[in-house]
Amino acid sequence: MNKISIFFAGLTALMLASCAAPANVVYFQDSQDKEISTEIDNSQIRLRPGDKISIIVNCNGVELMNQFNMPYVARYVGSTQEISLGNTGISGYIIDSEGKIDFPVVGEIPVAGMTRPEVAKTIRDELTSRDLVRDPVVTVDYMNLYFSVMGEVAHPGRFAITRDNVNILEALSMAGDLTILGRRDNVMVLREENGVQKTYLVDLRSAAGLSKSPVFYINQNDVIYVSPNAMRTRQSTVNGNNVVSTSFWISIASLAATLVSTITVVAMNMQNMK
């Protein structure tokens, strides 16, 4: 009877452990009580065909400026109204399949593979070399660049990229951070590179490894997927649609504890009868 009691006690402890929150949820475990210094490649996003960017040229003279800035077009039902560019807004340039944009007056300019500063410099050089504008200030911004976050995060979804150097920690923060059921050691980043879909694995528990990862900084169209941990996997049923609640396991543990207690009392009574 003692062996049976031990068996049920162990079963109860196992069930309770399965209901407990996983302990391995701490970020940057290798930096506890010490300082870690690693060099980070401060890479910028490079534009691709299909990306949309805004380009604003500022120079002396509104009329001259309007030659190089696309007007803001407001469309209403049954009509189209064109508004001169002031501080109202600006239409964007979509990079075509050949990696080019059609810039006013200048014509086609190849920009695929460039960063925002490189695009701005290219346009500035074109304007000055053709003696079209003196000392122009060119500003380039992203308009349709996004990344997606899926899996065990608080708020999965698609998020806009409005600047360079958005790192994976910022991206996960925008999605509300990982839930307690997300694996910190197995965050996947799907990225298209030169027409090839690649998958990278990121371990958020390692500060040194994270900063060296090629996906530390997010690119346009990246998909971040947070895998479920073992507890979430155990909770899933065979068909994957229903989830066994924690209260279910608590009930099982309570039943097991009751059985252990009952068996122990019966065993003691039997010994007393002898």
CATH number at residue 83: 3.30.1950.10
Output the pLDDT for position 261: 75
Last residue of a domain, one of 119, 142, 165: 142
Say whether both 151 and 136 belong to one domain.
no
Say whether both 204 and 188 belong to one domain.
yes
Q: Encoding tokens for residue 159?
A: 């998020």
Answer whether 259's CB lies under 8 Å from 18's CB: no
44 is a domain residue: no
The candidate with the shortest Cα–Cα distance to 172, out of 191, 157, 193, is 157
Give how many domains the chain has, as a whole number: 3
Say whether both 84 and 108 belong to one domain.
yes
> How far is the C-alpha of 111 from the C-alpha of 96, rounded, in Å?
10
186 is a domain residue: yes
Answer whether 85's CB lies under 8 Å from 66's CB: yes
Output the pLDDT for position 274: 61
Last residue of a domain, one of 95, 126, 142: 142
User: What is the value of pTM for the model shown?
Assistant: 0.70
Output the pLDDT for position 74: 45
Using the structure block, give the residue that is written with the tokens 């196992």. Answer: 14
In CATH, what number is assigned to the domain containing residue 218?
3.10.560.10
Answer whether 144's CB lies under 8 Å from 54's CB: no
Output the pLDDT for position 167: 94
> Where in the sequence is the domain holding 254, given as residue range(s)?
2-21+246-273
Last residue of a domain, one of 116, 142, 168: 142
Output the pLDDT for position 85: 41
Output the pLDDT for position 28: 76
Say whether both 56 and 137 belong to one domain.
yes
Q: Is residue 55 helix, strand or coil?
A: strand
163 is a domain residue: yes
135 is a domain residue: yes
45 is a domain residue: no
| Average pLDDT by stretches of 10, the chain with 274 residues | 52 50 68 67 88 91 78 48 45 93 93 96 94 91 95 96 94 94 93 92 88 93 91 59 58 73 71 68
Say whether both 156 and 215 belong to one domain.
yes
> How far is the C-alpha of 215 from the C-alpha of 97, rounded, in Å?
25
109 is a domain residue: yes
Number of other CB atoms surrounding residue 113 within 10 Å:
10
234 is a domain residue: no
